């Protein structure tokens, strides 16, 4: 039986690599992003990829697009909500408009997508919703007030929704990547330890979604376990360690 997946944020970075990965594995992929031309290029790359242009901040359009996906593909097994933005330069100072935009795309955009599939999966009583968060959700990081807040909100949302959807036999998981080389991280002007390729991320996510059953898919393990250790440190020690990174970022 042919499996089918909906991926948002599919035009670049992790979303693009994951779209290609699933399509190469013979899945039918509904690919969504704002830039339709890039989605069409993905379709030329592999006919298993079906473009469904979408701005996830438009709640009504998100519902409509998912309805169109079901009309064309008839069924969806997994949804991966991968849309995300970051503005590291504006986050070096308190920029309310920048933080509002980050929250609107990263958190509320994902919430719009979950709302669009909510009734479908609960009525179907099977399926899987996976939310792409980040290790930035573990603790507040320097020059990332909006990004960390949005990712923390997503991880908490996934944890809460886990209980709600489990009653309907629907799996909810969260994806927490470390540094991945994407157009978003290309904006960073500081060293990014253990940075990996989008293809590496796609391989880890594919395995986590199709071959494992854990709530959190996180990678690379050597970095994510270090970040998890920071999460449990007392505040005074964490602030001392993170303060060194803060100094390096603001010197640049």
Burial code (b: 16+ CB inside 10 Å, e: under 16) for 185-210 equals eeebeeeeeebbebbbbbbbbbebbe
Q: What is the pTM of this model?
A: 0.93
Domains belonging to the chain, first-starting first, are 4-251 (3.40.50.720)
Cβ atoms of 78 and 69 within 8 Å: the answer is no
- For 225, residues 6+ apart whose C-beta sits below 8 A from its C-beta are none
pLDDT tens digits, 197-250: 999 999 999 999 999 999 999 999 999 999 999 999 999 999 988 876 655 544
pLDDT tens digits, 148-161: 999 999 999 999 99
Q: Report the largest interatomic distance among the alpha carbons of the chain, rounded to a whole angstrom.
A: 55
- For 135, residues 6+ apart whose C-beta sits below 8 A from its C-beta are 176, 177, 178, 218, 223, 224, 227
pLDDT tens digits, 82-120: 999 987 777 677 889 999 999 999 999 999 999 999 999
Structure tokens at 60: 């009504």
Cα 192 to Cα 111, 114, 203, 249, distances in angstroms: 29, 31, 20, 11
Cα angle for residues 83, 159, 58 (degrees, 5° grid): 30
Cβ atoms of 15 and 175 within 8 Å: the answer is no
């Amino acid at each position: 039986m042919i499996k089918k997946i909906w991926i948002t944020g599919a035009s670049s970075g992790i979303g693009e690599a994951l779209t290609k990965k699933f399509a190469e594995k013979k899945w039918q992929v509904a690919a969504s992003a704002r830039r339709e031309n890039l989605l069409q290029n993905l379709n030329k790359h592999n006919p298993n990829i079906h473009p469904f242009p979408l701005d996830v901040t438009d709640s009504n359009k998100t519902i409509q697009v998912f309805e169109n996906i079901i009309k064309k593909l008839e069924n969806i097994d997994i949804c991966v909500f991968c849309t995300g933005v970051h503005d590291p330069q504006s986050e070096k100072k308190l920029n309310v408009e920048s933080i509002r935009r980050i929250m609107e795309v990263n958190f509320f955009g994902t919430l719009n997508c979950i709302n669009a599939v909510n009734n479908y999966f609960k009525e179907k009583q099977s399926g899987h919703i996976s939310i792409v968060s980040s290790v930035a959700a573990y603790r507040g990081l320097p020059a990332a007030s909006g990004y960390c807040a949005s990712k923390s909100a997503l991880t908490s949302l996934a944890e809460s929704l886990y209980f709600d959807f489990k009653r309907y036999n629907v799996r909810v998981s969260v994806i927490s990547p470390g540094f991945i080389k994407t157009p978003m991280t290309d904006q960073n002007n500081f060293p990014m330890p253990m940075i990996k390729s989008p293809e590496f991320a796609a391989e880890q996510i594919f395995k986590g979604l199709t071959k494992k059953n854990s709530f959190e898919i996180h990678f690379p393990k050597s970095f994510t376990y270090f970040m998890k250790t920071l999460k449990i440190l007392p505040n005074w020690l964490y602030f001392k360690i993170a303060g060194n990174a803060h100094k390096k970022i603001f010197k640049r």
